[in-house]
Amino acid sequence: MTGWRKTSRSLIRVFQLFVIVYLLVFLAVLIFQRRLIYLPTKIPAGVIESVAAGHGFAPWKNPAGELIGWKMLAKTNATASVLIVHGNAGCALSRDYLAQPIHDAADVDVFVLEYPGYGARTGSPNKDSMVAAAVAAFQLLPKNLPKFVVSESIGAGVACELAKAHPQAVAGLALFVPYHNLASVAQRQMWFLPAYFLLRDRFHPADCLKAYRGPVKFIVAGADEILGAETGKKLFAEYAGPKELQVFPNASHNDIAAQPTAWWQGVFAFWQKNRNP
């Protein structure tokens, strides 16, 4: 019996240690979750414009003179505006692989939003601050031109919030590696925690698109190691408006956003054929 008691005490101690470690992980994720989600690159304000020029960007400022992102203006008279809302890592300056081929594919002005807390922009990234920044930036786009929105990864939540807020003004969307809802993605990544219920920034593209009927291009990485391919396919399946799905079967999460000019010309053709009047 003595040996059994020792074994029982050891098992109880192991269980207690497991519970303590689990609770510590639970609290860390609860408190620091935004640091796990948002991975901004910061660039000092004094050098950022010279760095931007090397990427082909000019500063994009609001009426108060605050830097809110970067732009590539059309070489001739613009026929449309394209707003890019990027993923959770890096900053707007690193999205020249998106902005340049879009700019070269059509006579459009391209704008890349800088999220609060990214680049040289002050503030902190979270759902409310990012959506507010996107809505304010969208309202600064030329009023007399069609407005298209391009997103990657977590930016799908921001883009679809714009489509929800301005269902007639958003002429079309292109969503790289999108997701149905962020809480389900969080649960997939942290299966050992009740992450679905812990998540604060509950981006939900599927809900946002329910009242939108503009053309949407869905681009999914078939071997997406972060989101999984099924969440983007589910978002596509539920969307009721004009839509196209392109799956890159062997691509991982970060492999598909850099597409050539000719590919973007096809996206513009799809948008123009089906866009909101």
Q: Tens of pLDDT along 8-26?
A: 777 777 777 777 776 766 6
Identify the band that residue 145 occupies on the pLDDT scale cut at 50, 70 and 90: very high
Phi/psi for 141 (5° steps) reads -65, 150
Phi/psi for 19 (5° steps) reads -65, -45
CATH (one of 3.40.50.1820, 2.60.120.10, 3.40.190.10, 3.30.465.10) for 41-274: 3.40.50.1820
Token pair for residue 274? 């089906």
Instruction: Count the neighbouring beta carbons within 10 Å of the beta carbon of residue 117.
Output: 19
Beta-carbon contacts of residue 148 (< 8 Å; ≥ 6 apart):
80, 81, 82, 83, 108, 170, 171, 172, 173, 174, 271
pTM over 0.85: yes
Q: What does the pLDDT read at residue 59?
A: 95
> Domain locations in the chain?
1-37, 41-274
Tell me, what DSSP letter sits at residue 264? H
User: Going by DSSP bridges, is the β-strand pair 58-61/67-72 parallel, antiparallel, or unpaired?
Assistant: antiparallel
Virtual torsion, Cα 233, 237, 240, 241, nearest 10 deg: 40
Collapsing DSSP states into helix, strand and coil, what is residue 269?
Answer: helix
Q: What does the pLDDT read at residue 277?
A: 59
Identify the band that residue 222 occupies on the pLDDT scale cut at 50, 70 and 90: very high
Tens of pLDDT, residues 149-189: 999 999 999 999 999 999 999 999 999 999 999 988 888 88
Collapsing DSSP states into helix, strand and coil, what is residue 205?
Answer: helix
Identify the band that residue 5 occupies on the pLDDT scale cut at 50, 70 and 90: low
What is the distance between the terminal CA atoms of the chain, rounded to a whole angstrom?
A: 82
Instruction: Count the neighbouring beta carbons within 10 Å of the beta carbon of residue 35.
Output: 10
Tens of pLDDT, residues 99-133: 999 999 999 999 999 999 999 999 999 999 999 99
Q: How far apart are CA 45 and CA 185, in angstroms?
A: 34
Whether the per-residue pLDDT at 37 is higher than 90: the answer is no
Q: What does the pLDDT read at residue 240?
A: 96
Compute the mean pLDDT over every residue in the chain, rounded to the nearest whole number. Answer: 91
Triad 32, 35, 39: Cα angle to 5°: 170
Whether the per-residue pLDDT at 135 is higher than 80: the answer is yes
Q: What does the pLDDT read at residue 125?
A: 95
Partner residues linked to 244 by β-bridges = 217
Collapsing DSSP states into helix, strand and coil, what is residue 257?
Answer: coil
